A and B are shown apart, each in its own frame.
Chain A
Amino acid sequence: MGRPTAVSRVRGVIGAIVLIAILAVVLYPLIWLLGGSFKSPTEVVSNMSLLPTEPTLGNYPDGWSYIQGVPFGTFFVNSMVISLLSVVANGVSCLVTAYAFARLRFFGRKVFFALMIGTLLLPGHVLIIPQYVMFNEFGWVDTPLPLVIPKLLATEAFFVFLMVQFMRGIPRELDDAAKIDGCDPYRTFRHVILPLSRPALITTAIFSFIWTWNDFFTQLVYLPSVEKYTVPIALRLFIDSSGQTSLGPMMAMSVLALMPVFLFFLAFQRFLVEGINTSGLKG
């Protein structure tokens, strides 16, 4: 690339300025939300600045008890239970499925793999009605079951795909060595593939959690009663009321709702970025 000349240095500075300007625009809504959650009811509508002039914590308790009879903590517990169950369900089911696709040879493997890729492109909105009718007949509506059981059956094809991609990178010599040592496919899975798949499992776990935490559509459909609501569904109640007084509490609860995802982001940036790199996972 040669020595840095004056021109290239100026170019670098301009590039950095442009990037910082874009970054400011990109992060503005999030910082504005955070600042707004500490603004008083009058300030939240009149003051557009990022930071409140007279910070108040009042929005947080107000938002927490905003919904009659159900403290916001209930929604957090509901969301947490469903998200954690989804993490386990996706992790287990997608791992064994990926092992079969990536390492084992069996009847119909190619056809099944093509079908799995096909389901990647299948929009959930097409299946929601018959699935609802089905789960309704089972008596599962208003329980976490319709949200978790499908994940236990490896229906989140993205994760299967991600793990297949990952397992293809594990040297096949390891399997062969295990075979020579007398391992059957089950022991090979347990002692070779499982320990080596940890990075893919972690990526799957993080994205499972975040997606389920952020999910709105299926939770909206399957959880009709207020005490079963998850955080996203409960947040929506804030816009049913008219009047600006609820804006502060709404922002406060939105901040809390984004918190788990944000903490994951801080802790696992590298995994998240690499996760989409290898598979094109969305946010």
Chain B
Amino acid sequence: MSNVISEPASPAATPTRGSPPSPKRRAGQSPGRRQEGRAGLLFLSPWLLGLIGITAFPMLFSLFLSFTNYDVLSSWEFLEFVGFDNYRKIFTTDPIFWKSVRVTLTFGLIAVPLKLAASLGVALLLNKARRGVGLYRSMFYLPSLLGGSVALALVWLAMFNGDGAFNDFLALFGIEGKSWINEPDWALATLIVLSVWQFGAPMVIFLAGLKQVPTELYEAASVDGASKLRQFFHVTLPMLSPVIFFNLVLETIHGFQGFTAAFVISNGTGGPVYATKLYTLLIYDKGFTDFQMGYASALAWIFLAVIGLITVVFFSTGRFWVHYSDGEK
């Protein structure tokens, strides 16, 4: 797991059966090497086209749009360059922007740690169990697989409604329920529960990581008289830190991009009172409901900047707590 995101092995890493490539030969490229170069670019061409046409150009285009009043409905002649107006409005006068930022951060800060804790906890239990691990693993994974589908969001809607199954369950204990998804204080919590419920994917990755921890380490620790708890904190967690890091980055990015459940459960509004207005809903709303495409592009670029910043923070702080067993940092 420690090398999940690294360079592909260079073709030259394994010595080929001819003479080893000398600097001299590299200067005057051999016909085989030149053919390989051409083939490489040819095989890469669909991706290159996609990178330019579907990713890079739209990104620059969106940066350009973010300084305009473009609305998709009127023709290009009416496009006006508005400078930093969109950005200024977002930060100063948009009543929903800050609310939405808060909702998104709250969601990420609660849902991601809970999901990681749940997935690690169940993975530890499964790692101990000998019998039926494969079956359990698959069953726990099922909700993740059904993931962001509308059908699941509808299930949640029906379960956490005022007359939904969850309240019937609470009634068994004499607790009076409420319409959770319609309560500003609780609507986001139901989304968090939905997200945590899908802990199967990080769990499978944790399980794979736990298998890599050498049993000798536990034996040595127990000879030294370390309790199970100490073993967990001094052996399991450090050995697992690259996998924890991997899951943390993945789940955070995944969490920020949540859309379907919030959109479906609030019927597109992000309500009640913007309590579930995730940032992605805000972008969609401005772009495709109000057709303020320029404004929405500015929102999108702020989103990109924040996600980039968070990724950088993760990777730069990771050095302090992620331990690779082979000493590589």
Q: Tell me the A residues contacting B by CB distance below 8 Å.
A: 12, 15-16, 18-19, 22-23, 26-27, 29-30, 32-33, 36, 45, 48, 93, 96-97, 99-107, 109-110, 112-113, 115-117, 119, 121-134, 136, 150, 152-155, 160, 164-165, 168, 172-173, 176, 179-180, 184-186, 189, 210, 213-214, 216-217, 220-221, 231-233, 235-236, 238-240, 244, 247, 250-251, 254-255, 257-258, 261-262, 265, 269, 272-273, 276-277, 279-283
Q: Is B58 within 8 A of A105, CB to CB? A: no
Determine whether B82 belongs to the interface, using a CB cutoff of 8 Å to chain A: no
Known A125-B300, A235-B154, A265-B145: A26·B197 in contact at CB below 8 Å = yes
> What would 5 more interface pairs be, CB under 8 Å, given A106-B41, A239-B154, A269-B134?
A23-B136, A155-B54, A216-B260, A251-B154, A257-B151
Judging by beta carbons under 8 Å apart, are A273 and B43 in contact?
no
Cβ-neighbour of B72 out of A115, A133, A179 (below 8 A): A133
Using CB atoms, name the residue of chain A closest to B268.
Answer: A236
What residue of chain B has the Cβ atom nearest to residue A32's Cβ? B165
Assess whether B58 is in contact with A127, with CB atoms less than 8 Å apart.
Answer: yes
Contacts of A254 in B (CB 8 A): 150-151, 154-155
B145 & A125 in contact (Cβ 8 Å cutoff) = no
* C-alpha spacing A103/B122, complex, angstroms: 38
A109 to B58, CA, bound (A): 23
- Choice from B8, B46, B72, B303 contacting A123 with Cβ under 8 Å: B303
The residue from A172, A185, A283 contacting B146, defined by CB atoms under 8 A apart: A283
Contact, CB under 8 Å: A121 / B311: yes
**B62:A280 contact, CB within 8 angstroms:** no
Chain A residues in 8 Å Cβ range of B205 = 276-277, 280
Whether B201 and A276, one on each chain, are in contact in the complex, defined by CB atoms closer than 8 angstroms, is yes
User: Cβ of B200: which chain A residues have Cβ within 8 Å of it?
Assistant: 283
Question: Which residues of B are found within 8 Å of A272, using beta-carbon distances?
Answer: 138, 141, 145
B128 within 8 A of A: yes
Q: A15-B125, A19-B126, A217-B259 are in contact. Are A106 and B62 (CB under 8 A)?
A: no
A185 lies within 8 A of B39 (CB): yes
A276–B151 Cα distance when bound, in Å, is: 23
Complex contact B159–A29 (CB within 8 A):
yes
Residues of B within 8 A of A99 (CB): 43
Judging by beta carbons under 8 Å apart, are A282 and B259 in contact?
Answer: no
Check A105–B40 contact: CB distance below 8 A. Answer: yes
**Could you say which residues of chain B place their CB within 8 Å of the CB of A125?**
257, 259, 280, 283-284, 300, 303
Tell whether, in the assembled complex, residue B198 and residue A283 are in contact, meaning their CB atoms are under 8 Å apart: yes
Contacts of B125 in A (CB 8 A): 15, 18-19, 22
Query: Given that A155-B54, A184-B35, A216-B263 are known contacts, is A133 also in contact with B46, CB under 8 Å in the complex?
Result: no
- A150 to chain B minimum Cβ distance, whole angstroms, is 5
Query: Are A27 and B54 interface neighbours, CB within 8 A?
Result: no
CB atoms of A36 and B158 under 8 A apart: yes
Mark the stretch among B85-93, B230-238, B246-254, B316-324 that contacts chain A.
B246-254
A63 vs chain B, min Cβ distance (A): 12
Query: Taking each of A107, A136, A247, which has the highest tally of chain B beta carbons within 10 Å of its own beta carbon?
Result: A247
Question: Knowing A110-B7, A129-B65, A258-B146 touch, does A119 contact B55 (C-beta < 8 A)?
Answer: yes
Q: In the complex, A184→B33 CA distance in Å?
A: 11
Closest partner residue, chain B, to A110 (CB atom): B7
Question: Cβ of B270 < 8 Å from any Cβ of A?
Answer: no
Collect the chain A residues with CB atoms within 8 Å of residue B128's CB: 12, 15
The one of B40, B50, B267 that contacts A100, using a Cβ cutoff of 8 Å = B40
Chain A hits for B33, CB < 8 A:
105
Residue from A116, A129, A269 with most neighbouring chain B CB atoms (10 Å): A129
| B226 interfacial by beta-carbon distance below 8 Å | no
B169 — which chain A residues lie within 8 A by C-beta?
48
**Contacts of A18 on B, CB cut-off 8 Å?**
125
CB distance from B219 to the nearest CB of A (A): 10
Interface set, chain B 14-72, CB cutoff 8 A to A: 14, 16-17, 32-33, 35-41, 43-44, 46-51, 53-55, 57-59, 61-62, 65, 70, 72
Q: Could you tell me if A276 and B146 are in contact, using CB atoms closer than 8 angstroms?
A: no
CA distance A145 to B128 in the complex (A): 48
Contact A176 B16 (CB under 8 A): yes
Return the 10 tightest CB-CB contacts between A and B, nearest first. A153-B50, A106-B40, A283-B144, A48-B168, A104-B40, A185-B39, A130-B58, A254-B151, A100-B43, A283-B147
Q: Any chain A CB within 8 A of the CB of B149?
A: yes
Q: How distant is the Cα of A244 from the Cα of B157 in the complex, in angstroms?
A: 12
Nearest B residue to A154 via CB reads: B47
**Given A19-B125, A235-B154: A282 touches B39 (CB 8 Å cut-off):** no
Measured between beta carbons, the chain B residues less than 8 angstroms from A117 are 5
In the complex, what residue of chain B is closest to A250 when comparing beta carbons?
B154
In the complex, chain A residues whose CB is within 8 Å of the CB of B303: 123, 125-126
- Known pairs A19-B136, A153-B46, A153-B50; A129 contacts B297 (CB<8 A): yes
The answer, among A19, A127, A168, for a CB contact under 8 Å with B55, is A127
- Is B84 on the interface with A (CB-CB < 8 A)? no
Question: Complex Cα distance A140/B124, Å?
Answer: 49
Contacts of B140 in A (CB 8 A): 22-23, 26
Q: Is B223 an interface residue (CB 8 A)?
A: no
Instruction: Report the bound CA distance from A116 to B47 in whole Å.
Output: 9
Chain B residue at minimum C-beta to C-beta distance from A23: B139
Docked CA distance A138–B264 (Å): 29
Collect the chain B residues with CB atoms within 8 Å of residue A280's CB: 4, 201, 205, 246-247, 250
A214 to chain B: closest residue by CB:
B149
A189 to B51, CA, bound (A): 23
